[in-house]
Amino acid sequence: MPTPTHCPYCALQCGMTIKPGPVVEPREFPVNRGGLCQKGWTSAALLNTPGRLTTPLVKGEPASWEDALDHVAQRLQELRAEHGPDAVAVFGGGGLTNEKAYLLGKFARVALGTSQIDYNGRFCMSSAAAAGIRAFGVDRGLPFPVTDLANADAVLLIGANVAETMPPFVQHLRRAIDAGGLVVVDPRRTATAEQAAVHLAPTPGTDLALALGLLHVAVAEGHVDKDYLSRRTVGFEETWEVAARWWPEQVERVTGVSAADQRRAVAVLSRADNAYVLTARGTEQHASGSDMVSAWINLALALGLPGRSGSGFGCLTGQGNGQGGREHGQKADQLPGYRKIDDPAAREHVAEVWGVEPESLPGPGKSAYELLDSLGAGPRALMVFGSNVAVSAPRSAHVAERLAALDFLVVADFVLSETAVLADVVFPVTQWAEEGGTMTNLEGRVLLRGRAVTPPPGVRTDLEVLHELSVRLGQPAERFPVDEEAVFSELRKASAGGAADYAGISYERLRAGEALHWPCPDETHPGTPRLFLDRFAHADGKARMIAVDHRGPAELPDDDYPLSATTGRVLQHYQSGAQTRRIPELTAAVPEAFVEVHPDTAGRAGLGEGDVARVSSRRGEVLAKVRCVPGMRTDTVFLPFHFPGDQRANLITNPVLDPISRMPEFKVCAVRLEAVT
């Protein structure tokens, strides 16, 4: 029977149908309107991929489930007894269902008693989340449905190449594109920037200066909505004190974006009846990423956009469940419902749902990179669910060294990823179409994915793995359910009253096809597709404008490393490539890493189209074939981050962290380009 479900990749969560074969077909759903990208069309191939794991591995050798589970439980107990509960760490993923993310956080804090848990979403949305909470009092990537964008006259899109990373999204921008209202901020001339009326290409790491310049123009040229600022915000005066120093010509000297183009961009936004400002990874993955997003929020607030019908501000979530994954407890400082783990009331509420004492719950742990950096010296064991940190983490050679320094590494995956290869124990688990569960897409809409195909014999769900380990660690069997609907019912109780309140969302309502966006506090509530229409989530109902100033990237080009490198995704691949590199059609299209370089920059390094280049930073070097792209800045190179081995872009990236979000600076580091002799 055909089964309606959703794509296993990005946070757009396009609607699709799985038919016997298995094969996928697009279906009519608001976010994709019957469209799919190349990754979605080929996603069924992942279900029969060669190399699929169906037997647990212990020290690389096949083992029974009972032996593998017993071995893991025994080693975890030994390490905890010798070194304390924080000797065991847990690392999750933004692709896990809400049920998995919830139970993983509970497993860490109750069954293991460890504070050391974080997830790869720290590398994705953390800066946007921090800025959103500061400004609006709550973090939901898009506080409005994606479909609202279809009526936009103007859209300012910062650090997003949606034409490649989520192609069905582009149809929602069509009106703005046709009206000459799309403004794209990106150092590259991407497929998205090609469709823009105005393309602003700043030097990597200077987005904050550009945002201050656009705010300066908006104020100086009379485009500010003074009534909105008075009624709905606080902090404009302090914000303007900073922006007043960033006149357009000064911004041009720092960013390379002409004063004329800055004024054109503001004019496009200010004359629109319906306008949106949207940010993504390009402006967020910086050591000042939280402040960068705050600066774009300040611009949107000055123009009176957030919380206004037909206009708004939002952040584009990347991973499939990047939104839900950060709401329910696999983040170092959070409990379910987007509660803070150091809030006594939050601890009491969640502890009551879990049937434990509040004081038994650990406090905040280390953020993702800090956790990985401490392995061996701090945690002696690591359990990884839904992440491939050997490829995706910054300074990845160092992270691989820290993984090797562990006494014990456990990975749950459906293939032998680059991280799983290093593990002492690998649990073979189900993948997207072989299990049920909920996801929360980029607009805060909770989606139900039903099981569409029977998993191969020998694999188990992540929920079953967590249940079996918990029982072996002395927990009551009923405390860790294996049925996803039972887990979700408990999640609803744990989230009740929190910022991300799912209490009124049930499988029954989702099966009936209701469009339910959180918060949804009870079963009579219709959900909240649009936040902030009446008030923001601060006590006084007003948004906060945060005075922030440009400070530039942590590492500037110099004589030894004269270029800036930035990283990102390509159409055919996703995240670390652990899934998409196993699909022949996708690997045939993009089989290996490449480096995009301006022809003049390549020529100065003695390189031409197709040559193998060495891209070196202070942390390592990447080997990649040269692609000469005339639209590139001459001071910048671009590398996709989907490839393993000596093609890992993250061998060179800078792990310096944003002080608020703890986001690493993926998007800019100083490099040199050389021919491989």
DSSP label at 545?
A: P
**320, 309 contact by CB (below 8 A):** no
What's the confidence (pLDDT) of residue 590?
Answer: 95
498, part of any domain:
no
Rounded to whole angstroms, the Cα distance separating 526 from 374 reads 45
What's the confidence (pLDDT) of residue 159?
Answer: 97
What's the confidence (pLDDT) of residue 215?
Answer: 98
Question: What separation in angstroms does the CA of 575 have from each of 361, 406, 483?
Answer: 32, 25, 28
219, part of any domain:
yes
CATH classification at residue 9: 2.20.25.90
549, part of any domain:
no
411 and 290 both lie in a single domain: no
Question: What separation in angstroms does the CA of 80 have from each of 88, 92, 512?
Answer: 7, 20, 45
**172, 150 contact by CB (below 8 A):** yes
What's the confidence (pLDDT) of residue 318?
Answer: 87
Return the biggest CA–CA distance within the chain.
71
What's the confidence (pLDDT) of residue 92?
Answer: 97
510, part of any domain:
no
67, part of any domain:
yes
DSSP label at 304?
A: T
418 and 282 both lie in a single domain: no
CATH classification at residue 267: 3.40.228.10
Categorise residue 384: left if φ over 0, alpha if ψ from -120 to 50, beta otherwise.
Answer: beta
Q: Which residues of 564-599 are buried (b: 16+ CB within 10 A; e: fewer)?
A: bbbbbbbbbbbbbbbbbbbbeebeeebeebbbbbbb
106 and 137 both lie in a single domain: no
Tell me if residue 500 falls in helix, strand or coil: coil
Decide which of 298, 316, 334 is a domain's last residue: 316
637, part of any domain:
yes
Pairing relationship of beta strands 339-340 and 88-92 according to DSSP bridges: unpaired
Number of domains the chain is built from: 4
623 membership: H or E segment, kind and range: strand 621-628
Termini Cα distance of the chain:
57
34 and 162 both lie in a single domain: no
Kindly write down the DSSP assignment for every residue of 47-112, as one continuous string.
GG-TT---S-EETTEE--HHHHHHHHHHHHHHHHHHH-GGGEEEEE-TTS-HHHHHHHHHIIIIII
Q: What are phi and psi of 145, to 5 degrees?
A: -65, 145
> In 235-279, at which residue ranges do the beta strands (DSSP E only) sit?
275-279
**415, 637 contact by CB (below 8 A):** no
CATH classification at residue 662: 2.40.40.20
Pairing relationship of beta strands 669-675 and 612-616 according to DSSP bridges: antiparallel
* Nearest one of 5, 7, 65, 18 to 429, comparing CA atoms: 65
311 and 220 both lie in a single domain: yes
- CB within 8 A of 369, min separation 6: which ones? 122, 123, 393, 394, 655, 657, 662, 664
Tell me if residue 537 falls in helix, strand or coil: coil
517, part of any domain:
no
**Preceding amide of 519 cis, omega within 30:** yes
Residues with pLDDT less than 70, the chain: none
272 and 329 both lie in a single domain: no
Amino acid identity of residue 241, one-letter, is E
Q: Give the CB-side neighbour count of residue 116, counting CA atoms within 13 A.
A: 24
Rounded to whole angstroms, the Cα distance separating 10 from 164 reads 11
Kindly write down the DSSP assignment for every residue of 437-452, as one continuous string.
EEEE-TTSBEEEE---
What's the confidence (pLDDT) of residue 493?
Answer: 98
**Which structural domain range is residue 144 located in?**
126-316
Torsion of CA 145, 29, 37, 447, to 10 degrees: 70
Q: What is the pTM of this model?
A: 0.97
CATH classification at residue 93: 3.40.50.740
505: tokens are 């969302």
490, part of any domain:
no
DSSP label at 277?
A: E
388 and 363 both lie in a single domain: yes
**136, 128 contact by CB (below 8 A):** no
* Nearest one of 438, 436, 430 to 3, comparing CA atoms: 436
171 and 298 both lie in a single domain: yes
Decide which of 316, 351, 381 is a domain's last residue: 316
DSSP label at 30?
A: T
259: tokens are 């004063």
**641, 568 contact by CB (below 8 A):** yes
Kindly write down the DSSP assignment for every residue of 410-467, as one continuous string.
EEEESS--TTGGG-SEEEEB--GGGS-EEEE-TTSBEEEE---SPPPTT-B-HHHHHH
What's the confidence (pLDDT) of residue 280?
Answer: 97
Amino acid identity of residue 118, one-letter, is D
134 and 101 both lie in a single domain: no
30 and 93 both lie in a single domain: no
Task: Quickly count helices (H) and strands (E) in the chain.
Answer: 23, 29
Decide which of 267, 294, 316 is a domain's last residue: 316
Rounded to whole angstroms, the Cα distance separating 215 from 342 reads 36
Rounded to whole angstroms, the Cα distance separating 125 from 313 reads 15
17 and 136 both lie in a single domain: no
458 and 329 both lie in a single domain: yes
What's the confidence (pLDDT) of residue 26?
Answer: 95
